[in-house]
């Protein structure tokens, strides 16, 4: 270690892109720790409450890019109350004081106020990139601040955020001098935008490569935009429907004909079949296609389009594609790596859309498949065993059977063997979500075979504490465990308390854990925050002083350097 001067060590560390690798080298010796901390440019904070912003920025004074994640994953499904926490402001305020050279900020599942955005826009003269994923708390006023004050902004990427619409003028706030945009994604905005301002912005930003329009943008506007940005690589099409009965089709066809660089396509909110044909010319170059917000597209039109997409690597669709459509994908898309099939009928009352057959077809036609999210009506052990054999390279496997405790419909047995086959065959599996009828046995398999597993999501599964214990004792790389509606209680929770310090977090809701169990865990492990979320009805007499025997409805446990958080609302108790 002392053989090399610091500059050389630092240069070697430059080749380490993963924050985990950098974390590891920093623990080798003090010299390396010092070199590493001064040279780390990209900082990743997986849990905003695990560490204080001041500490992060004191350690990494050269930070240029910061990623912070807030709420637990199950917040996506309304399991976390609205004002639980995850405020981005402390991070932005601290960065404004300590790291004014910040260039990129990525936030996921955090509460971002307009005030935060205003501070962000004014405090960082070199700011280049803002990515917000599944955030909330801001409006188009905050976006107007970003547009107005971030000179040299390259990227504004808004993915699936809840944004309050305060009018369309935010886009006009990009000054005429702004020519630096490379990526602009406002697909999640619900309101109108100033389309002529948008067209002018697109025209002057010659480096624009990614543009994702929202549903308010019609085909007529899209055509004008494409004419000004023929070098786009990623496009979100907007509504893909014409305002008037104009003969937009020919113009659309011509516009797409000139766009030779498009590789990534999404949008199609209201797509009419006849306009879909206009994109056949670019289908053969596509690597990413997201049709998951396009319920208007019928299966047969989808199949016609898919047949052209032989380079496709990533496909997101709705389950209206059916097994028939998936068979067509299996035939055409031999390069497919990631498939996500979302439910079109979220309340599960409709006709069966995709079943195990579609998945089996995909697995046999697409051997490179490594990432799956599949909402379906049923699954069989035989199908999962076949899929495991056909696709041993899964890193992400998420299956969601709409009836969460449904057994194999043919054998009427639980799906333990099927998932067992998946974990046994897919040695690189990092993320797994289970569903269907499952006993403790599936967890025995997971503990035994899923040695690289980092994230596990469990719902309505298992029979006893043994299930959870198999996982905690077996999966040595486990980072995030989230469990709902499963019969795991205090015995399982307290079986291996040291494990939780090796993990980012544990979520348990509607399980059998009691308040006493939570207190015991907190007492044994002072470096964990054991948070219990207490949503109480007015009529519930237990509201004042629940006993230790009382079951907790929601528990969130995470390792932390900060102790109990100081912004916890009154319904969150930290033991």
Strand partners, 264: 234, 288
Token digits of residue 215: 């549903």
Return the number of the residue (346 or 561) whose C-beta is nearest other proteins. 346
Return the number of the residue (2 or 547) whose C-beta is nearest other proteins. 547
- Closest of 498, 504, 525 to residue 456, by C-alpha: 504
Please, what is the minimum distance in Å from the beta carbon of residue 414 to other proteins?
Answer: 6
Please, what is the minimum distance in Å from the beta carbon of residue 413 to other proteins?
Answer: 5
Token digits of residue 84: 């639980």
Q: Provide CB contacts within 8 A for 339, sequence distance 6+.
A: 314, 315, 316, 329, 362, 366, 369, 371, 372, 373, 374
Return the number of the residue (159 or 451) whose C-beta is nearest other proteins. 159
Return the number of the residue (46 or 350) whose C-beta is nearest other proteins. 350
Q: What is the Cα–Cα distance from 442 to 458, expressed in whole angstroms?
A: 11
Please, what is the minimum distance in Å from the beta carbon of residue 556 to other proteins?
Answer: 14
Return the number of the residue (142 or 343) whose C-beta is nearest other proteins. 343
Residue 17: CB atoms within 10 Å: 8
Return the number of the residue (142 or 489) whose C-beta is nearest other proteins. 489
Helices (H), 47-162: 53-59, 89-98, 114-123, 140-149
Please, what is the minimum distance in Å from the beta carbon of residue 465 to other proteins?
Answer: 5
Please, what is the minimum distance in Å from the beta carbon of residue 28 to other proteins?
Answer: 40
Please, what is the minimum distance in Å from the beta carbon of residue 30 to other proteins?
Answer: 44
Return the number of the residue (247 or 566) whose C-beta is nearest other proteins. 247
- Closest of 455, 462, 456 to residue 437, by C-alpha: 462
Return the number of the residue (118 or 531) whose C-beta is nearest other proteins. 531
Please, what is the minimum distance in Å from the beta carbon of residue 293 to other proteins?
Answer: 6
Return the number of the residue (99 or 400) whose C-beta is nearest other proteins. 400
Please, what is the minimum distance in Å from the beta carbon of residue 79 to other proteins?
Answer: 5
Q: Under a CB-based contact definition with an 8 Å cutoff, are residues 311 and 284 in contact? A: yes
Strands (E), 37-182: 42-45, 65-69, 104-108, 129-133, 136-139, 155-159, 162-164
Q: Under a CB-based contact definition with an 8 Å cutoff, are residues 30 and 3 in contact? A: no
- Closest of 416, 533, 548 to residue 490, by C-alpha: 548
Please, what is the minimum distance in Å from the beta carbon of residue 458 to other proteins?
Answer: 12
Distances in Å between the alpha carbon of 124 and those of 103, 118, 128, 149, 542?
7, 11, 9, 10, 49
């Amino acid at each position: 270690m002392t053989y090399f001067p610091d500059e050389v060590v630092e240069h070697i560390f430059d080749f380490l892109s993963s924050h985990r690798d950098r974390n590891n080298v920093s623990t080798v010796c003090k010299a390396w720790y010092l070199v590493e901390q001064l040279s780390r440019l990209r900082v990743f904070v997986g849990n905003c409450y695990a560490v204080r912003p001041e500490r992060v920025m004191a350690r990494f004074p050269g930070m240029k890019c910061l990623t912070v994640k807030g709420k637990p994953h199950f917040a996506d499904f309304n399991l976390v109350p609205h004002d639980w926490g995850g405020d981005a402001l402390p991070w932005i305020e601290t960065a404004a004081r300590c790291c004014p050279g910040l260039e990129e900020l990525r936030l996921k599942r955090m509460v971002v106020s307009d005030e935060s955005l205003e501070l962000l826009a004014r405090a960082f003269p070199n700011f280049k990139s803002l990515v917000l994923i599944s955030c909330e708390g801001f409006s188009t006023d905050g976006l107007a601040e970003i547009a107005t004050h971030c000179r040299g902004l390259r990227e504004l990427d808004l993915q699936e955020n809840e944004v309050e619409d305060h009018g369309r003028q935010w886009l006009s706030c990009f000054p005429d001098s702004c020519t630096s945009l490379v990526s602009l994604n406002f697909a999640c905005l619900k309101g109108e935008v100033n389309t002529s301002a948008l067209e002018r912005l697109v025209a002057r930003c010659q480096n624009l490569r990614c543009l994702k329009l929202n549903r308010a943008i019609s085909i007529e506007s899209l055509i004008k935009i494409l004419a000004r940005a023929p070098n786009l690589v990623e496009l979100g099409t907007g509504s893909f429907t014409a305002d008037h009965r104009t003969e937009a089709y020919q113009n659309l066809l011509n516009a797409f004909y000139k766009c030779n660089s498009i590789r990534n396509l999404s949008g199609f909110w209201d797509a009419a079949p006849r306009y879909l044909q206009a994109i056949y010319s670019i289908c053969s170059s596509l690597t990413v296609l997201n049709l998951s917000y396009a319920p208007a597209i019928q299966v047969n039109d989808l199949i016609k389009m898919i047949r052209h997409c032989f380079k496709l690597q990533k496909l997101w669709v709705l389950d209206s594609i059916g097994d028939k459509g998936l068979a067509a994908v299996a035939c055409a898309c031999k390069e497919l790596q990631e498939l996500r099939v979302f439910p079109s009928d979220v309340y599960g009352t409709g006709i069966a859309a995709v079943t195990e057959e579609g998945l089996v077809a995909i697995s046999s036609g697409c051997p490179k498949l490594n990432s799956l999210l599949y909402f379906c009506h049923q699954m069989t052990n035989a199908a999962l065993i076949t899929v495991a054999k056909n696709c041993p390279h899964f890193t992400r496997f998420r299956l969601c059977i709409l009836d969460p405790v449904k057994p194999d419909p043919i054998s009427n047995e639980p799906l333990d063997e099927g998932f067992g086959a998946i974990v046994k065959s897919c040695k690189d599996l990092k993320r797994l979500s289970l569903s269907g009828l499952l006993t403790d046995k599936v967890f025995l398999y997971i503990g035994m075979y899923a040695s690289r597993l980092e994230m596990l999501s469990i719902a309505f599964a298992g029979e006893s504490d043994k299930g959870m214990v198999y996982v905690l004792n077996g999966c040595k790389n486990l980072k995030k465990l989230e469990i709902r509606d499963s019969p795991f209680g205090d015995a399982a929770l307290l079986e291996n308390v040291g494990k939780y310090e090796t993990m980012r977090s544990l979520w348990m809701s509607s399980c059998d854990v009691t308040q006493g169990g939570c207190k015991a865990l907190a007492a044994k492990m002072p470096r964990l925050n054991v948070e219990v979320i207490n949503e109480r009805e007015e009529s519930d007499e237990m509201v004042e002083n629940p006993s230790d025997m009382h079951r907790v409805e929601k528990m969130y446990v995470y390792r932390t350097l900060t102790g109990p958080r100081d912004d916890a609302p009154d319904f969150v108790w930290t033991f």
